[in-house]
Amino acid sequence: MLAYRTEIRNSPKEQTLKIYLNDISLDEELKNLLKTINCVRLVEVQESISRNRVEENVTVFRKDDTSINILKEKVDAFLDNYFERVNG
């Protein structure tokens, strides 16, 4: 089982990247680490309102000059590396 799942979401204002972690105790730590990625404008921990989801998610907002697909690639690579180091 993967430690996380990412989804591109379209809101009325902008596209965002939602990260659903299996271990939500990591939400705040990852929020702070994700802020260091150069194409990230803002990271928030939000309550999930959909059924069949973890209680909260990490929402990543991109900088205006970054495509959502590039953001997803960078965040996925970062998370893969993070969980590879943590889980050995």
pLDDT tens digits, one per residue of 11-50:
889 999 999 999 989 999 999 999 999 999 999 998 877 6
For residue 83, pLDDT beyond 70: yes
Which has the higher per-residue pLDDT, 1 or 65? Answer: 65
* pLDDT for residue 37: 95
Cα 11 to its chain centre, rounded Å, is 16
Kindly report the CATH number assigned to the domain that includes residue 74: 3.30.1360.10
Q: What is the structure's pLDDT at 51?
A: 61
Distance CA 12, CA 28 (A): 26
Of 59, 62, 79, nearest to 70 by C-alpha is: 62
Task: Give the model's pLDDT for residue 52.
Answer: 59
Q: What is the pTM of this model?
A: 0.89
pLDDT of residue 50: 65
* Count: domains in the chain: 1
Domain that holds residue 36: 4-87
